[in-house]
Copies of this chain bind each other. A is one copy, B any other.
């Protein structure tokens, strides 16, 4: 099927291109009769405007780039859903890029992004992408960071205050008399792990205590489980805070296999929970991160930047909520 262009429509409707253009862009100056005429021609020919040509003429593509870490869809999925739902409302398309830590070269991805002339880019980022962000910033392209605080001229962010979440949690437990609280590393999201540790440290310091219970996972272990199953042969804590629910599950399984009773002897809490938590026994006590909102809000922020709306808050902090389940005692 030969692609039909605006010329074909113009000829069919006996008007000029300009008029057709006006009709498809909903300009109000067109006389109703001719507008109808053009509409008919459009449907008759099955004409669909060429977004590429529009993009070239308008210098905007109504497409945004989304960059996410590879293989992490379990916890990025909801973000994407939220983002796409909002994008759809505003008629934006989304170009998806993934990056792999240690493999993807910042330069390469920036290259692709810039060439594709997206109107903006949303990055679900770890600290590792600082490079890309700096380079993109140099091109003056609007950026929204998810999960990382920060802002700038054409940079906004939507994040969850991890530090505060963990700090408040630790403060509560310290209040219960608990002193042995450990934070488990997450090699897939080192930054989040770092923030959790910071929260714990702050809470302890506020109570005049010292904290250095960060459990590092050495690189040689292929999975969290591999490591913790060994770790809990010789360790035990009153409370272990993990990043993802899958890690918390690994902790629970490993601890139990080593005879540690959950939650009686050791409690486990995670920061990010996915729908799998509901299928798992015991259900992990967790924070619910509003992932969907994270995506939806960042896309909305992006549209504001692109439409030059006044942005009241360039750093949007979303709330988390703690839900006690089966891996914590109920004090």
List the interface of chain A (C-beta within 8 A of B): 1, 48-53, 55-56, 61, 63, 66, 70-74, 76-78, 80-81, 84, 93-98, 111-112, 114-117, 138-140, 223, 225, 246, 249-250, 253, 274-276, 278-281
A84 to B73, CA, bound (A): 13
Tell me if A246 and B80 are in contact (CB < 8 A): no
Do B249 and A52 touch across chains, with their CB atoms under 8 A apart?
no
Given contacts A95-B63, A96-B80, contact A275 B253 (CB under 8 A): no
Copies per assembly:
2
A230 to B95, CA, bound (A): 43
Contacting pair A223 B278 (CB below 8 A): yes
Let me know if A1 and B115 touch, CB within 8 A. Answer: no
Q: What residues of B have a CB within 8 angstroms of the CB of A246 in the complex?
A: 275-276, 279
Q: Contact at B117–A1, with CB atoms within 8 Å?
A: no
The one of B50, B73, B139, B281 in contact with A76, judged by C-beta atoms closer than 8 angstroms, is B73
A253 contact from B48, B50, B76, B281, Cβ within 8 A:
B281
The 10 listed contacts between A and B (C-beta, < 8 Å) are A48-B111, A48-B115, A49-B115, A52-B56, A70-B81, A74-B275, A94-B95, A246-B275, A246-B276, A281-B281
CB closest chain-B residue, reference A141: B1
A278 to B246, CA, bound (A): 9
Residue numbers in B under 8 Å from A52 (CB-CB): 52, 55-56, 61, 116-117
B residues in contact with A249, CB < 8 Å:
279-280
**B84 engages A77 (CB within 8 Å):** no
- For A72, the chain B residues whose CB sits under 8 A away are 77
Residue of B nearest to A250 (CB): B279
Quick one: given A1-B139, A96-B94, A246-B276, are A117 and B74 in contact (CB under 8 Å)?
no
CA A101 – CA B244 in complex, angstroms? Answer: 29
